[in-house]
Amino acid sequence: MSRVAYVNGRYVPHRHAQVHVEDRGFQFADAVYEVIAIRNGAFIDEERHLARLARSRRELKLAAPMSDAALKLVLRETARRNGIRDGIVYLQVTRGAAPRDFAFPKAAKPSLVVTSRRMRIADPRLIANGIAVITLPDIRWKRPDIKSVALLPNALAKQQAKEAGAFEAWQVDADGNVTEGTSSNAWIVTAKDEVVTRKADDSILNGVTRLGLLDIIAREGMRFVERPFSVAEAKAAREAMLTSATNGVLPVVKIDGKPVGQGKPGKLALKLAAAYRDFMDGAA
C-alpha cells in the first residue's frame, strides 16, 4: 500500500506531499506538532494531545486550521488510508505561507499536514533489556514547554547519543539538573522508593505519556515527588526510566556509560512499563 498524506484539505500520495516554499514552518520553524500513538486502531490519549496542541498554538498566537472534531476525522482518515492499526499519526500546524518577514503576516492561512505510519509502540525488547542514555548541556530555546518544530538542538543531541551507542540524550541545565530527553521525559527511582521527575514548568514539555504515568502512579499508591534531580543523583539512583508517546515507559540501565542500580531494568520501572502497556491495551 502506498503511503498517503493530508496536506491542507487534500489527501495526496506521500511522495508528492508539498507545502509552499514560503510556508513559515519551513522558513522560521513557526509551527507546532503532535505525535499520537495508535494501538489496535485506537488513538491513545488523543484528548490530552489535542489539548496540548491547542496550548502550544495559543502560546504562539497561531490560529487553529479547523475544529477539533474536524481534525479528529482527518487523523482517522489519514490512518485509515495508510492501513495503520498500530503506529503513529503525526500532525503539524504552521502559521501558513506568506512573503518572508519575521513579523506575523496579517492574512496567512494556517497550514495543516498529517501523516501516519506503522511503528512498534513500547517495544518489549527495549523494556526487557533497558536502554542507555548520555547527558549533554541543554542548548534549546527557553520555551521547550511549547511543542514547536524548532528541534535542531534535539536532533544534534539525538545524533550524539546515536554516535555514543546510546538510545537517548538527557539534557542538563546550568545548575546540573536533568531537564528532559530529546524526545522524552526523564525519571528516577530513589533508594526510598520515591518516583521522581521534574515539575512541568517552562523548562520541559509536559509529556502526555508523563501525565498518563502520573495517573498510574497515583492509582498504585506509589510515592511520587516532582522536583529537579542532578546528573549525579540520577547516576546514583536505584532505577531510572524515560517516557514518550512512541516508547511508553523504558527502563534506563546506563547513564554516560555507567550502570544505574544493578545495571538492569528495575522492578518499579518494569511494573510501570507493564501498567502503561495495559493502559494502552485497555484504551484500544
Positions marked catalytic: 147
- Residue listed under C-alpha cell 512512541: 246
Question: CB neighbours (10 Å) of residue 73?
Answer: 12
Distance CA 66, CA 169 (A): 35
Distance CA 121, CA 37 (A): 7
Distance CA 226, CA 187 (A): 10
Distance CA 202, CA 173 (A): 12
The H or E element spanning position 169 is strand 168-172
List the beta bridge partners of residue 4: 13
List the beta bridge partners of residue 148: 32
Distance CA 77, CA 114 (A): 10
List the beta bridge partners of residue 240: 188, 252
3 state DSSP class of 58: helix
Listed in sequence order, the residues at least 6 apart from 96 whose beta carbon sits closer than 8 Å to its beta carbon are 23, 24, 105, 108, 109, 110, 111
